[in-house]
Chains A and B, each alone.
Chain A
Amino acid sequence: MSTLVKKIKHYLNASYELRSWFGTVDHKRIAILYLISVTLFFFVGGFFAVMIRLELLTPAGDLVSSETYNKLFTMHGIIMIFFFLIPAVPAVLGNFLIPIMIGARDMAFPRLNLASWYCYIGGALFATAAMVTGGVDTGWTFYTPYSSTYSNGAVVLTALGAFVAGFSSILTGLNFIVTIHKMRAPGMTWFRLPLFIWSNYAASIIMVLATPVLGAAIFLVFLERAFHIGIFDPNLGGDPVLFQHLFWFYSHPAVYIMILPSMGVMSELVAAFSRKRVFGYDFVAGSSLAIAVLGFLVWGHHMFVSSQSMYAGFVFSFLSFLVAIPSAIKVFNWTATLYKGSISLQTPMLYALGFIGLFTIGGLTGLFLASLGLDVHVHDTYFIVAHFHYIMVGGVVMGYLGGLHYWWPKMTGRLYPEFWARISALNIFIGFNLTFFPQFLLGYMGMPRRYHAYPEEFQVLNVMSTAGASVLAVGYLIPMIYMLWSLKYGKKAPANPWNAKGLEWTIPSPPPVHNFDEIPVVTEEAYAYAEAPHRG
């Protein structure tokens, strides 16, 4: 590190002892702690995915045993959902940006923020312990009575992991809500907030209200497994379908915990790289809240063939179609933002456009599943696997990577190599479609999900999917390499490398420990690109 850098104190070089990291209450350092942890788990979960795809290359279950295969897809799901997708955008980008974007020096509860990370790590340790001591084979859905009575995997340990990690989510959501309400700089009114704040606010409401239900459901599984208290197992007098209601009451809204913050990133990227105010700001902001509210009322669409009543099916189907509308509104508004803009196809924008494409396909195929008569056929097949990967990987991961590239200069003070970044963005888009599009076809043909071995007629499409996965895997490895490289060799980043609007671009890169020497007074709306830019 050169002497020049040392002269300017910022949050990264303020102190170096281990304690200053593991005991930090600086929201930016906590974001970095999350960044390292979620990246680690992304690659662990990704490794399991590679194993799954390799096994499915041939119809026979020949690479690993069926027991191992079941553990692979279970751990893939649990790690990707609880330890990557849910925390990725809010806990990394949200933690770093929310205080800065609203003109605050930190979160409302800095210590609670650190406690969230320790809950996450606590949960991750339990889950890792479960993996190491034999793994678990219930699927990430933990359906009863399989999980509560029949599985002999490390169910309790894994469930404990998800339970503890849930508190990380609850505390983060609570912190975001209070911070956004109470810590806004003077002049930062609700309708001047960047849309990233709105969408994280909406996601926080879900985190706080839905996560406790998952905790309760998991705790009940534990009670039945450990003490044979009859809740879900019919042999003990319980109701196995009750678990599905509790589980999806959280796990459907959880999809919005993942996608909403990513949609927030999208609004920032589309605005910055077309130098335009987001078209229909109020509608984009309002649609986030609409998704959060409606998202609570659609869980039964996971249960159309579960023996739930036919009338419940009608109601849940109807509400599921309603929740599609605010998502459509967002896509239309992002597209309209491009109109008469000044569009630059730098890497974050490539991710943003990729998001629009993949999320459109993911969203539209969601209509197939909301449609009762059609869902009966495609439920629990590869069609649904393809659909939710288009939303979660095509949507959330594209948004996360786009955001990570956009704010990387701010977070690290370094620029990444643009050439490689564009290559890998393109690589990921192509690899993703090759991997998951064939799965829609497989699903309609009738291939059930979670199958270790499958009839031969499904092989061609499976080979295509596995080939695509290898392209995708390369696409994820390249950014890992050049981003690490940029930390040492990347060009120094100016305060505002994109000439973008937003308070985060008015302070140095990387930001000083207290973000703002003077709390800013906000006088303009978000995305006032028609005005003169901040000088970097």
Chain B
Amino acid sequence: MNLPTVPFSPVQASTLAGQVDLLYLYLIAVSVFFTCVIFATVLFFTLKYKRRSETERPEAIHGNLLLEITWSAIPLAIAMTMFTWGSILYFKGWRAPQNAEEIFVVGKQWMWKIQHPEGRREINELHVPVDHPIRLKMTSEDVIHSFFVPAFRVKMDVVPGRYTSLWFQPTKTGRYHLFCAEYCGTKHSGMIGWVTVMPEEEYQQWLETGTAIAPVTVSGKELFQKNRCNTCHHAESGALGPDLAGVFGNPVQLADGRTVTADENYIRESIVKPNAKIVAGYTPMMPTFQGQLGEEEILQIISYLKSLKAETGTPETAAPPASPAA
């Protein structure tokens, strides 16, 4: 994409970056134009109508309706172009492509903990393949942080108690700053790291090096069994909890008559606050796992549940995840 580069701007390293810069240039052009018009007019009037005598009494001018309408309508029309253009970019940044690879990010005072679906973990570093859409699923263990990569022109707050997500498609290999943009306490300015964009093959090699860790769906399954979730949540009759196979991404009928979609936030809530939303036909008896499971572990369990197929009720680690309602 051959978009103009802007002085005093970070490198354009994502599909979005050039588009954001273009909007930026448009706003600069409009701003410079209006600033010049106003400065020039003020200067011109000040010189032309400089007071000549102390007794000078210029005639009163009351105003001009046509002028008022003009200088309200034109700025309004220009503002609406900015609104529309900005909204389109926001919308693009919001909706991740279906084939985006999902990587977990957990923020904590004062580090970024990252885990790839294949299991590899890293801290304050994020390795990604070039030209692939990447979707980050993010949460925080403590306060609000914000994941900011200037070279990609993306930013999203990382909020405790819920999942936020952000996506980008890197277009250039290299190393780019990763900043925490939301003030998070003493070492806020130390909560920085690097995003390394690598060619696809190098990325695959990189994934295989380092300590071998199971893919997130496998560690999720282990956690599911270790915490004895499966004693209640199974497909056989008489189960104390609802069977979770195939639940993800689908509507769930609640005891109070409401229907919710079983997304990441719902599953997370059901683990830490099991009584918040009871599935129709079941009694509230599940204990809370708040404090027993870390944010990363909860993310792994969610990945496992996403991988479960409805028909068999058995884990299919290779199964494609149900499409999330973004």
Known A279-B63, A283-B63, A528-B60; contact A499-B54, beta-carbon cutoff 8 A: yes
Do A380 and B146 have beta carbons less than 8 Å apart? yes
Minimum CB–CB distance for A205 against chain B, Å: 22
Do B59 and A339 have beta carbons less than 8 Å apart? no
Contact of A446 among B10, B86, B180 (CB under 8 A): B10
Instruction: Say yes or no for A19: interface residue by CB 8 A criterion.
Output: no
Which parts of B45-78 form the interface with A (CB within 8 Å)? 45-46, 49-52, 54, 56-64, 67-68, 71-72, 75-76
Q: Which residues of the partner chain B approach A241 to less than 8 Å between Cβ atoms?
A: 159
Q: Which residues of the partner chain B approach A336 to less than 8 Å between Cβ atoms?
A: 67
Q: Which residues of the partner chain B approach A137 to less than 8 Å between Cβ atoms?
A: 185-186
Instruction: Say yes or no for A281: interface residue by CB 8 A criterion.
Output: yes
Do B144 and A335 have beta carbons less than 8 Å apart? no
A242 to B204, CA, bound (A): 42
Do B186 and A67 have beta carbons less than 8 Å apart? yes
A277 to B64, CA, bound (A): 13
Among A112-120, A311-319, A420-428, A508-516, the stretch that binds chain B is A311-319
Instruction: Say yes or no for B148: interface residue by CB 8 A criterion.
Output: yes
Minimum CB–CB distance for A66 against chain B, Å: 5
Minimum CB–CB distance for A181 against chain B, Å: 26
Contact of A306 among B71, B159, B180 (CB under 8 A): B159
- In the complex, what residue of chain A is closest to B80 when comparing beta carbons? A321
Which parts of B12-62 form the interface with A (CB within 8 Å)? 19-20, 23-24, 27, 30-31, 34-35, 38-39, 41-42, 45-46, 49-52, 54, 56-62
Do A450 and B46 have beta carbons less than 8 Å apart? no
Do A374 and B182 have beta carbons less than 8 Å apart? no
Minimum CB–CB distance for A425 against chain B, Å: 14
> Which of A146, A276, A325 counts the most chain B CB atoms within 10 A?
A146
Minimum CB–CB distance for A198 against chain B, Å: 15
Minimum CB–CB distance for A248 against chain B, Å: 14
Instruction: Say yes or no for A81: interface residue by CB 8 A criterion.
Output: no
Minimum CB–CB distance for B110 against chain A, Å: 10
Q: Which residues of the partner chain B approach A345 to less than 8 Å between Cβ atoms?
A: 46, 50
A28 to B94, CA, bound (A): 55
Q: Which residues of the partner chain B approach A22 to less than 8 Å between Cβ atoms?
A: none
Q: Which residues of the partner chain A approach B151 to less than 8 Å between Cβ atoms?
A: 446
Among B160-168, B234-242, B304-312, the stretch that binds chain A is B160-168
Instruction: Say yes or no for B314: interface residue by CB 8 A criterion.
Output: no
Instruction: Say yes or no for A485: interface residue by CB 8 A criterion.
Output: no
- In the complex, what residue of chain A is closest to B79 when comparing beta carbons? A321
Q: Which residues of the partner chain B approach A523 to less than 8 Å between Cβ atoms?
A: none
Known A277-B62, A340-B61, A377-B150; contact A370-B90, beta-carbon cutoff 8 A: no
Q: Which residues of the partner chain A approach B67 to less than 8 Å between Cβ atoms?
A: 280, 332, 336
Known A276-B61, A380-B146, A381-B181; contact A375-B72, beta-carbon cutoff 8 A: no
Do B42 and A377 have beta carbons less than 8 Å apart? no
- In the complex, what residue of chain B is closest to A533 when comparing beta carbons? B57
Instruction: Say yes or no for A463: interface residue by CB 8 A criterion.
Output: no
Do B157 and A374 have beta carbons less than 8 Å apart? no
Contact of B38 among A141, A150, A280, A360 (CB under 8 A): A360
10 tightest CB-CB pairs across the interface, nearest first?
Answer: A373-B89, A234-B161, A446-B150, A371-B86, A372-B90, A280-B63, A338-B45, A451-B189, A364-B31, A380-B181
Chain A residues in contact with chain B, CB under 8 A?
61, 66-67, 70, 137, 139, 141, 143, 145-146, 149-151, 233-235, 237, 239-241, 274-277, 279-283, 304-307, 310, 313-314, 317-318, 321-322, 324-325, 328-329, 331-333, 335-336, 338-345, 353, 356-357, 360-361, 364-365, 367-368, 370-377, 379-381, 441, 444-446, 448-455, 461, 499, 527-533
**Given A235-B290, A281-B63, A448-B179, 7 more pairs with CB closer than 8 A:** A274-B49, A275-B51, A329-B72, A353-B42, A380-B148, A380-B181, A449-B181
Name 7 A/B residue pairs within 8 A (Cβ), A-sorted: A66-B189, A239-B161, A276-B60, A280-B63, A281-B63, A329-B68, A379-B181
Chain B residues in contact with chain A, CB under 8 A?
6, 8-10, 19-20, 23-24, 27, 30-31, 34-35, 38-39, 41-42, 45-46, 49-52, 54, 56-64, 67-68, 71-72, 75-76, 79-80, 82-83, 85-94, 109, 142-144, 146, 148, 150-151, 153-157, 159-162, 164, 177, 179-190, 192, 273, 290
